[in-house]
Structures are given as C-alpha cells and as structure tokens.
Amino acid sequence: MQSDSDSALHMIDILRKKRDGGELDARELSFVAAGAANGSIQEAELAAWLMAAWIRGLSREETRALTLAMCDSGEKSSPARLGKQAVNKHSTGGVGDKTSFLVAPLAAACGVAVPMISGRALGHTGGTLDKLEAIPGYRTALTLAEFEAVVAKCGVSMIGQTDQLAPADRRLYALRDRTGTVENPGLLCASILSKNLATGLDALVLDVKTGSGAFLRKREDCEFLAALLVATAEAAGTRTVALLTDMGQPLGRAAGNWIELVEAVELLRGQRPPWSEDLRELSLILAGWMIHLGMQAETPEAGYARAEKALLDGSALRVFLAMIEAQGGDLRVFDDPAAFHKPGATEVVAAWESGYVARMDTAALGWAVQRTGAGREKAGDPAVAHRGGDRSPSLGLEPVDPHAGILFHARLGARVERGQPFATLFATRPELLAEPVAILKRAIHFSKSPPNAVPLMSRVFTREEAEKYLQDAVR
C-alpha cells in the first residue's frame, strides 16, 4: 500500500498493513483515530484493526502517535485559568478498585484541581462511570463547559469520554471491551493517556496494577506498561509518575457498583473498618503523590499527611458530595445507603474448606462480579439511558445493575473455618447467582499455612526510571 502524504488513505489498507506486521505512521494512525471519533470508519473495520494491533503489537512510536491522535480527536480542556495545578490519577483497571472516589476529593480538598475522565467496566474490571451512575440523577456526560464549571466550583469533576472530549477513546474503549482487545500495552497506553492529555493536566499519577487481577499478568509486562505510560505522557509535556500496586485480591471488600460507592463513602466519613485498610492506604499514597505533583506538598509523604488530614476533618467528603450535587446526583441516597441497596437476589456463600486464604484468581472474581449483573453481557441492546448517565445512542450500551456485585468477608491471609460466611453475592435475578458462585469457588485457593504477604506498592516509575527501563528493555 502507498501511504505517501498526498495519497488517499483507506481503512482496509491500514488494517491489512497492521495484520501483516507493518508499522503504521502518524498519518495513518490519525486517520484511524479521526474515523473512530466521527463514525466514518465502520465498527467491523475498527474491530478488525484492534485485533490486528493486539496481536501484532504497537511500537513505541506507534503508541505515541496513536495517543496524540486520539487526544486530538476532540476538544481540549484548559484548566490553567483556574489558577491551580491540574492533576489526575488513572488506574490501569482492577476489581473493587474504588480509589478514584477517595483520591479525587482528597486532592481537591488540598488545593489541586482534578478534572477526571474515567471509563466504564472494561473486560473483567469495574468502571468508575458505571459506579457513579448508581447515584440517581448523576450525569457522567457533561459538556466541556459544564465539566470545566464543576471543576471550577468544586475542585473536581468526574465524567466519561464524550463526543467532545476524547471521542476516539469513547468508541474504541467500548469496542475493545467487546472484542477481547483490552490487554495490549500500546492500546492501554493510548486509551489512558489520550483522555488525560485532553484535559490539559499539569501532572498525572498512574496506578499500574500487578498480580492476578491486572490486565497484564506478568510482572515484566506491567513494568513495561508503567514505563511506556510515563515516557509517553512526559514526552507530551505532562509530569507523570506510575506506581506499581498489587491487584492480587479485590481492593477493599466490595466489588460492584453501589456497594463500592458505599465503601468509599464510609472511609470519607472517617470510618476505618479493617476490611477497607488496603483501600484507605492506597488512596492516601496516590493522593499524596497527586498533592505533591500539584505543588501542595514538598514530598509525596507530606502529601500523604495532608490527604489523611482531609480524610479525618471531613473536607474531602464535603468536596465529594458537592461534586455529586453539581452533577445532578441525588444526595439523599447517602442518608441511608443500606436502604437504597435493593438487589434482586442475594446469596451468602459459606467457606467450603477450612484454612488460610492463600491465593485468589482476581480476574476470575472480576468476571464473577460482572455476571451478577454489575457489568455488560453483550453489546447492541437499545441504548436505554441508565439513570442520568450517558444518553448517547451511538455506543449501544447495555445498562448495568447498580445493586449487583459481591462483598468479600475474608481477605488473603485470613484464617477461615468451613461454614463461615465467605462472600455475599447480590444479583439482578436469582438465576444469575449460580455462575458467579461457581466462578468464586474455582477462584479461591486455601492452604494449611499462611501465605507470604505481598506489598501494596512495589515500585515507582519516574521519568528517568521509565526512560532507562525502556532503553534497557530488549523488545
């Protein structure tokens, strides 16, 4: 295929070139991103291109070009006029990962502007947007002007990709979810960074998950992804760090939509249940880095201390509730969160063995959560707008059940006796319980002696470390 700068581009040529292992140039990748954003490339062609890119991989240069093209596929926000540093946190995706509900208001309460663009459930992982839409009336699809106004008023806004902001990722993200093309470093990098760069951030903190619930299972692949993300974002002018954190078990005890919000709000209300200790600690570490990069603390440790103060004095809770109200959410559901929770069916699963909880297949647990009704089963249902959420018909998104999910009553390393409650499943309908229960039982492994503890955070990648890692990496 000719791809001189004056020759016309055709999607069929571009996807065949990637299928055959060729390297795409910036012009071709801009064509893909623009066509994804404006709908001129058909879904079948985009899906085939995604699979070719997943199998063949994207070079570092292709990843950079795709990231910038996807960022440029829509408009950009410019938070500079707020007179604050704009900093965000983005995770590569996990199970029960609700840190966004804590870190965003914590950083905002400490003087950082947090324009946060999140995603929906992706593969086995939950989606911040689906969780937020459990709040009646909460709007995740704001115009750019509305988004900026909420950040100016509350210090934080949490929305999804829209037709204005990162529209290429909006379409590709939904397609990757349904075509098994999530777990690729280049596609992950372009998806995560394109929407974050479009918000005009000064700095970004990345939470790169490792372990059985991460998209990339091998430790060296997670390190490569962290380095790729940091180097790509830094080259685009955004100060960035990536923290490698453990996803060898769900974070906290709740995995679902409404039940995750409840767990986060308990912490924001100053409660400190033992089962949320890892969630609390990771949120404070991430917020500490955001506050440090946002120039409100000399070190990440000093940022941690400021974040903890904002947790204890209630200021982060006030910021979070103000944001929900500003985006149309009905705050009354937080008066009595248990009364609002109305799952269609509930089952308590008792421990089927005695012993120590030794190992969890956390990705399988994520699929179990999705199959209670908390995630999407298929594409193409009529776009029934889910509560106040994304009303765009173009993605054909199936609504998710805000009340479905799983509460885990035992964590890794815990000693359990056969018959004691191990997990409570909430499903949309009774017939949806059997499959997640079966998955859960296959995913949990017991042992006679306690397993070795795994650190919550194992490595930090700064710009220098990322560049060195990529130079050393023989790929």
Which residues are CB-neighbours of 98 under 8 A, at least 6 positions away?
131, 251, 252, 254, 260, 261, 263, 264, 279
Query: Is-catalytic flag, 169?
Result: yes
CA dist., res. 273 & res. 270, Å (int): 10
Q: Which is catalytic among the residues 176, 209, 306, 403? A: 176
One-letter amino acid for residue 55 of the chain: I
From the CB of 191, what's the least distance to ligand URA, in Å? 4
- Please give the single-letter amino acid code of residue 431: E
- Checking 57-62 for CB contacts under 8 A at 24+ apart, the result is 57/184, 57/185, 57/186, 58/184, 58/185, 58/186, 58/187, 58/190, 59/23, 59/186, 60/228, 60/231, 60/232, 60/470, 61/23, 62/23, 62/24, 62/29, 62/186
H-helix or E-strand containing 357? strand 355-360
Active site annotation includes 176: yes
Quote the least distance from Cβ 395 to ligand URA, whole Å. 15
Contact 117, 161 (CB under 8 A): yes
Among the listed residues 18, 64, 90, 253, the single catalytic one is: 90
Residue of 77, 88, 164, 191 that binds ligand URA (CB under 6 A): 191
Active site residue 341: no
Binding ligand URA (rule: CB under 6 A), the pick from 63, 73, 92, 199 is 92
Shortest approach of ligand URA to residue 368 CB, angstroms?
A: 20
Closest residue to ligand URA: CB criterion: 191
Residue 386 falls in the annotated catalytic set:
no
Question: Closest approach of Cβ 188 to ligand URA, in Å?
Answer: 4
8 A C-beta contact, residue 38 and residue 19: no
The footprint of ligand URA on this chain (CB under 6 A) covers a number of residues equal to: 8
Q: Is 68 in the site for ligand URA (CB under 6 A)?
A: no
- Shortest separation between residue 171's beta carbon and ligand URA, angstroms: 13
Q: How far apart are CA 66 and CA 324, in angstroms?
A: 33
Stretch that binds ligand URA, among 27-35, 46-54, 188-196, 377-385 (CB under 6 A): 188-196
Per-residue x/- track, 93-132, ligand URA (CB under 6 A) = x-------------------------x--x----------
Where along the sequence are the contacts to ligand URA (CB under 6 A)? 92-93, 119, 122, 182, 188, 191-192
- Residues recognised as catalytic: 90, 169, 176, 191, 195
